[in-house]
Amino acid sequence: MAVKSRRSLLFASGALLAVAAVAVPVVAGTAAADSGAAGAGNQARIVGGNQASIADHPYAVYLTDAGGNQFCGAVIVSSTAVATAAHCAKAVAKQDIRVVAGREDKRTSDGQVLGVSKIWVSQSYTDPTQGADIAVLTVRGQLGYRPANLPAKDDTQVYATGTQATVLGWGRIADGGARSDYLRSAQVPLVSDSECRSDYTVYDQQSMVCAGYRDGGIDACQGDSGGPLVVGDTLIGIVSFGDGCAKAGKPGVYTRVSTYADDVETQSRPRLLG
Q: Does a structural domain hold residue 246?
A: yes
What is the rounded (10 degree) CA torsion for 15, 101, 54, 238? 60
How many whole angstroms separate alpha carbon 92 and alpha carbon 63?
10
Instruction: Please report the pLDDT score of residue 28 as a whole number.
Output: 31
Q: Does a structural domain hold residue 25?
A: yes
Query: Residue 13 pLDDT more than 60?
Result: no
Provide the CATH number for the domain around residue 213: 2.40.10.10
| Cβ neighbours, 10 Å, residue 175 | 20
Q: Does a structural domain hold residue 274?
A: no
Of 5, 78, 185, 225, the active-site residue reads 225
CA dist 223 → 50, 86, 132, 255, 268 (Å): 16, 14, 19, 16, 24
| Closest-CA residue to 217 (of 186, 180, 257, 258) | 186
Query: Residue 118 pLDDT more than 90?
Result: yes
Q: What share of the chain is helix, strand, coil (3-state, %, to 5)?
A: 15, 35, 50
Q: Does a structural domain hold residue 131?
A: yes
Q: How confident is the model at residue 14 (pLDDT cuts 50, 70, 90)?
A: very low
Range in 97-106, 118-127, 203-212, 263-272 with the lowest mean pLDDT: 263-272
Q: Does a structural domain hold residue 184?
A: yes
Q: Does a structural domain hold residue 222?
A: yes
**pLDDT tens-digit profile of 230-257?**
999 999 999 999 998 989 999 999 999 9
**pLDDT tens-digit profile of 123-181?**
999 999 999 999 999 999 999 999 999 999 888 899 999 999 999 999 877 666 677 88
Instruction: Please report the pLDDT score of residue 172 as a whole number.
Output: 78
Of 65, 127, 133, 175, the active-site residue reads 133
**pLDDT tens-digit profile of 78-108?**
999 999 999 999 999 999 999 999 999 999 9
Residue 216 bridge partners (DSSP) = none
Tally of structural domains, the chain:
1
**pLDDT tens-digit profile of 35-53?**
333 322 222 237 878 899 9
Instruction: Please report the pLDDT score of residue 98 as a whole number.
Output: 98
Q: Does a structural domain hold residue 4?
A: yes
Range in 66-70, 142-146, 217-221 with the lowest mean pLDDT: 217-221
Q: What is the 3-state secondary structure (H, E, C) of 100-124?
A: EECCCECCCCCCEEEEEEEEEECCC
Catalytic residue status for 133: yes
Q: Does a structural domain hold residue 273?
A: no
Of 87, 185, 224, 240, the active-site residue reads 87
| Domain assignment of residue 236, given as a range | 1-268
